[in-house]
Amino acid sequence: MSEPFKTVRILGISFFNDSFQRSIEIAHRSGGLFLAPSGPGLAELGKNPAYDRAVQTADVNLIDSGYLALLWHRKTGETIQRHSGLKFIKALVEDHRFKANQKQIWIMPSQKHTESTRRYLETEGIDLPDTAFYEAPFYETTNLQDEVLLKKIEEQQPDYIILAIAGGKQEILGHWLKERIDSKPAIICIGAAIAFLSGQQAKIPTWADRIFIGWLLRIIVDPKTFLPRYWNARKLRSILNTYGEDPPVCKV
């Protein structure tokens, strides 16, 4: 059994607060559900019990939100380890162990995203068969499940399941899958992160991700989509000030 890693409890969630390399090693050696909750997603805590349950019981919650990290530092004086989903998936794809293991299933939002992701993976030396990709149907946020996907996973027994669908849904689906899979693959919920690398969304330079302004670049490129989303994240400040380490009261 691997040694416990450092965490910090925020809003009832145990966030990963250890070295980046440690998170990669856990994915390879231990598996489990890996999430990187966004600021807008965390601002909705208390409104969807299925989402709350997913983030509260995940094996690893990366601190992806720079806004959360800044708010926590302002509130407590504590500097926490931020590791974005983009940084994580890029490092995973570049890892020789991942490259050498074709037991992967990528859950994609569309055929267009599947094709661009395949091209990107090929440039990294990862040539996967058609069976390694699954185009997700439209999921509702209530009663979210996918028996077809579950059957595919049971048949193929992958070591890595990468969910590249919308935030708020991927966490719930990842939790649902984890509860039903007998083995313990790494179930990695990265949302749009792979799209930055594959070219489906504007690329975010490493320096921009490191200084917490990836969100700003997304707004500049597509303000109609991302401005309302990130504007909604402002509520996170009030929630954090109210609850601190404790989970927000469910209002459903």
Question: What confidence tens digit (pLDDT) does each residue in 46-78 have?
Answer: 999 999 999 999 999 999 988 899 999 999 999
Q: Counting beta carbons within 10 angstroms of the beta carbon of residue 57, is it exposed (0 to 12), middle (13 to 18) or buried (19 or more)?
A: middle
pLDDT tens sequence across 170-217: 999 999 999 999 999 999 998 877 877 876 555 655 655 565 555 555
pLDDT at 140: 86
Query: Most confidently modeled of 21-35, 135-149, 192-206, 226-240?
Result: 21-35
pLDDT above 50 (res 1): no
- The larger pLDDT score, comparing residue 162 to residue 141, is at 162
- The larger pLDDT score, comparing residue 135 to residue 196, is at 135
Cα gap 51→100, rounded to integer Å: 33
Cα gap 121→198, rounded to integer Å: 8
* Contact status, residue 251 vs residue 46, Cβ threshold 8 Å: yes
Cα gap 239→41, rounded to integer Å: 12
pLDDT above 90 (res 218): no
pLDDT at 169: 95
Radius of gyration for the chain, computed over Cα atoms and rounded to the nearest angstrom: 17
Tell me the mean pLDDT in the region 228-240. 78
If one counts every other C-beta atom within 10 angstroms of the C-beta of residue 132, the result is 20
pLDDT tens sequence across 20-38: 999 999 999 999 999 999 9
The four Cα atoms 197, 203, 207, 210 give a dihedral, to 10 degrees, of -70
Report residue 135 as tokens: 């185009």
- Residues 170, 107, 101, 199, CA torsion sign: negative
pLDDT tens sequence across 84-119: 888 999 999 999 999 999 999 999 999 999 999 999
Please, what's the b/e burial string for 19-47 (b: 16 or more CB within 10 A of its CB; e: otherwise)?
Answer: ebebbbebbeeebebbbbbbbbbbbbbbe
pLDDT at 141: 81
* Contact status, residue 162 vs residue 188, Cβ threshold 8 Å: yes
pLDDT above 90 (res 4): no
